[in-house]
Amino acid sequence: MDRLDFIFKRLLARSPIPTEQDIILKSLNRSRQSYTKDPESASEFLSIGERPVNDKLDPIEHAAWAATSLAIMNLDEAVTKQ
């Protein structure tokens, strides 16, 4: 199971449809590009919260996936499960 499918199944109890997958992967790539241009913003983003940052993870990749996960968590489907 790939990472995106895992996130969808944990948050929405389903896999993403192809259109969703394309949109989210484009967003993930934009985040990667943005954090690559400004690595300090990735570190700042990851510093938010109570847990320390895992130094073994690439901060750019970590921040990009964290931002992507937040976007999925903010979908109406995740916020208001019926």
Q: Is residue 67 part of a domain?
A: yes
Q: Is residue 27 part of a domain?
A: yes
Closest-CA residue to 15 (of 30, 2, 25): 2
Q: Is residue 60 part of a domain?
A: yes
- pLDDT over threshold 70, residue 1: no
9 token code pair = 């199944």
Could you read off the pLDDT of 37-78 as tens digits, one per residue?
999 999 999 999 898 999 999 999 999 999 999 999 999 888
Total domain count, the chain: 1
Domain of 51?
17-77
Sequence-distant (≥ 6) Cβ neighbours of residue 28 within 8 angstroms: 4, 64, 65, 68
Distance from C-alpha of 54 to C-alpha of 2, rounded to nearest angstrom: 21
Q: Is residue 2 part of a domain?
A: no
For residue 80, the model assigns a pLDDT of 74
